[in-house]
Amino acid sequence: MKLSTKLIHAGVEPDPSTGAIMTPIYQTSTYVQTAPGVHKGYEYARSQNPTRQALESAMAHIENGKHGLCFSSGVAATDAVLRLLVPGDEVIAANDMYGGTYRLFTKIFEKVGIRFHFVNMQEVSAIEPYINSNTRLIWAETPTNPLMNIVDIAALAALSKKHKLLLCVDNTFASPYLQNPLDLGADLVLHSATKYLGGHSDVIHGCLVMNDTSLRDQLYFIQKSCGAVPGPQDCFLVLRGLKTLHVRMDRHCSNGEAIARWLRKHPKVGKVYWCGFEDHPGYAVAKKQMRGFGGMMSFTLKDDSLEAVTRLLSSTKLFALAESLGGVESLINHPASMTHASIPRDERIKNGLTDSLIRLSVGIEDVDDLIGDLKQAIG
Ligand SMILES: *Cc1c(COP(=O)(O)O)cnc(C)c1O
* Per-residue model confidence as pLDDT tens digits over 105-125: 999 999 999 999 999 999 999
- If you average pLDDT over residues 76-94, what whole number do you get? 98
196: closest CA among 325, 54, 55?
325
Dist. CA 41 → ligand 1 center (Å): 32
Mean of per-residue pLDDT scores for the chain? 96
Measured by CA distance, the residue closest to atom 1 of ligand 1 is 192
pLDDT given for residue 350 in this prediction: 86
Using pLDDT thresholds of 50, 70 and 90, give the confidence band for residue 266. very high
Report pLDDT for 97.
Answer: 87
Whether the model clears a pTM of 0.85, i.e. scores above it, the answer is yes
pLDDT of residue 219: 98
Q: Read off φ and ψ for residue 64, nearest 5 degrees.
A: 55, 40
DSSP class per residue in 6-63? HHHHTT----TTT--SSPP----SB---SBTTBSSS-SBTTT--HHHHHHHHHHHHHT
Residue 349: pLDDT band with limits 50, 70, 90: confident
Q: How confident is the model at residue 78 (pLDDT cuts 50, 70, 90)?
A: very high
Distance of CA 178 to the CA centre of its chain: 12
Nearest C-alpha neighbor of 168 from the set 201, 202, 121: 121
Ligand 1 site: residues with CB under 6 angstroms? 73-75, 98, 100-101, 141, 145, 170, 172-173, 192, 194-195, 204, 206
Comparing CA positions, the residue from 316, 317, 361 lying closest to residue 335 is 361
Identify the band that residue 283 occupies on the pLDDT scale cut at 50, 70 and 90: very high
Phi and psi at 354, nearest 5°, equal -80, 170
Substitution candidate for ligand 1 out of 70, 71, 72, 75 with most atoms within 8 A of CB: 75
User: Residue 300: phi, psi to the nearest 5?
Assistant: -125, 160
363 has a pLDDT exceeding 90:
yes
Domains of the chain, each with CATH number or no CATH:
3-242 (3.40.640.10), 245-378 (3.90.1150.10)
Average pLDDT over every residue of 310-337: 95
**Percent of the residues in the chain that have a pLDDT greater than 70, as a whole number:** 100
The string of DSSP letters for 81-146 reads HHTT--TT-EEEEESS--HHHHHIIIIIITTTT-EEEEE--SSGGGTGGG--TTEEEEEEESS-TT
User: Cα–Cα distance between 351 and 263 in angstroms, integer?
Assistant: 23
Give the Cα separation of 282 and 275 in Å (integer). Answer: 7
DSSP letter for 262, please.
H
> Could you say which DSSP state residue 294 is in?
-
pLDDT at 343: 84
Confidence of residue 233 (pLDDT cuts 50, 70, 90): very high
Which one is catalytic: 46, 103, 115, 287? Answer: 46
Instruction: Kindly tell me if the per-residue pLDDT of 332 is higher than 90.
Output: yes
Residue 351 has pLDDT above 90, yes or no: no
Strands 358-361 and 331-333: antiparallel
Does the pLDDT at position 348 exceed 90? no
Neighbours of 71 (CB within 10 A): 29
pLDDT the model gives residue 341: 86
Residue to mutate (ligand 1; options 172, 200, 343; most atoms within 8 A of CB):
172
The ligand 1 atom nearest the CA atom of 76? 9
| Entry field: residues in the chain | 379
- Residue 188's nearest CA partner among 158, 162, 219 is 219
Detail the DSSP E strand segments found in 212-305.
269-273, 296-301
Counting residues of the chain whose pLDDT is more than 90, the rounded percentage is 90
The pLDDT tens digits for 141-199 are 999 988 999 999 999 999 999 999 999 999 999 999 999 999 999 999 999 999 999 99
Query: Residue 340: what pLDDT?
Result: 86
* Cα–Cα distance measured from residue 100 to residue 80, given in angstroms and rounded to the nearest whole number: 14
Confidence bin at 353 (pLDDT 50/70/90): confident
Report, as an integer, the average pLDDT of 14-18: 91
C-alpha 318/C-alpha 290 separation (Å) is 28
Q: Active site includes 359?
A: no
Name the least confident of 195-204, 223-232, 343-352.
343-352
